Chain A
């Protein structure tokens, strides 16, 4: 920890995290919502329809960002699991508790928007192909992360179990990523490669990348707000929490 600047070290302490992070959340919410509005309105109204799919491709501007972050949030939870098992940082467990529901809803949105997109284009909302099945498994893993905490009464054991589930479950992420390459699937291959070509025309990239950035910002904001909530629940007996519980502070 000694190599981190002081303001970052403060964030590892529940009390300072709780106090310092509040001003960030407001700005992340504002930036995320404005960006999402700009990107979505741009994508819905100001770009031409796709040459084959017509207007139905526009759900891509929602589907792609939520699907990307459904997976990235899971990776971050697995990293927090490693941090918990190795360094026993309190905030790692707080992060896992706060991020799991957010990842669950991102995955649900990715599956839901994919089903809506599939109806006009593929001619079916759901096929048991490798990409869809592995994404469905991701949803179940998130559900496991949420439920496991409630079925194990001892918090320390629950966190250890959660960390192991998160790390083992992360095996699913590269399989989701490469399912469309390794296997024959109904789902098309990736359009955006991090170190490669983008097979999306330039005029569609501006709203798409605006929405990807906005979903990232909004996801970060919601997770931080959740972390604040989890922090105050876990520290309810501490003196510094009392004014917040009694409503004397906002």
Chain B
């Protein structure tokens, strides 16, 4: 490679790698702001603002979904499947993908009692795509 081209190539590479490093350091420093929702352990440990609109997410705890006998009200727990769990109160229509043991993101306010008053409930879906016939087989394999 001719010297002037080698010089230009190294400037270009420096531009890219330097820029990438700068941006990566910045976004990791700002990770708390870039994360789309708070995790259950942050909600439980009091790391989130009270009575302000926030987003929190996790898995819907199996067996925790209780619907009101009248109206659209529903109560359920969100867990990180490890140790932290908090309760959510919501009045409205849940998305069709909202399932027990599946991911969800709730938007609303955490009140002083530690109950999350949700104004919106979103469903996360995972990266696995399976036809319905396999469902029985998967459940047999799981203990």
Q: Which residues of A contact B (CB under 8 A)?
A: 47-54, 57, 60, 82, 85-87, 120-124, 127-130, 164, 167-168, 170-171, 174-175, 182-186, 188-191, 199-201, 203-204
Contacts and interface: CB of A to CB of B under 8 A. Distances in A.
Given A48-B132, A123-B120, A189-B127, 14 more contacts: A48-B133, A51-B135, A53-B125, A120-B97, A122-B124, A122-B125, A123-B97, A123-B98, A123-B122, A127-B105, A184-B35, A186-B37, A200-B129, A201-B130
The 5 closest A-B pairs by CB, nearest first: A123-B95, A129-B36, A184-B35, A48-B131, A191-B127
21 contacts: A48-B131, A52-B99, A52-B102, A53-B129, A54-B96, A57-B129, A86-B12, A121-B96, A121-B125, A122-B124, A123-B95, A130-B35, A164-B15, A168-B16, A170-B16, A184-B35, A186-B122, A188-B124, A188-B127, A189-B127, A201-B129
Nearest to A208: B129
B interface SS class = mixed
Contacts of A86: 5, 8-9, 12
Given A186-B105, A186-B124, A199-B128, A171 B134 contact: no
Given A82-B12, A86-B5, A128 B36 contact: yes
B124 A171 contact: no
Nearest to B37: A184
B44 interface: no
Nearest to B102: A52
A124 B120 contact: yes
Nearest to B38: A184
Contact of B36 (A123, A127, A191): A127
Contacts, number: 123
Contacts of A204: 129, 131
Contacts of B124: 122, 186, 188
A171 B27 CA distance: 12
A121 B97 CA distance: 6
Interface of B: 5, 8-9, 11-12, 15-16, 19-20, 23-24, 27-28, 31, 34-37, 39, 57, 94-99, 102, 105, 120-135
Nearest to B129: A200
Contacts of A175: 23-24, 27
B19 A171 contact: yes
Given A51-B132, A184-B57, A185-B36, A171 B20 contact: yes
B125 A124 contact: no
Contact of A201 (B95, B98, B134): B134
Contact of B35 (A164, A167, A183): A183
**Residue of B11, B16, B39, B98 with most partner-chain A CB within 10 A:** B16
A209 to B, nearest CB: 13
B28 to A, nearest CB: 8
Contacts of A200: 128-129
A82 B8 CA distance: 9
Nearest to B11: A85
Contacts of A130: 34-36
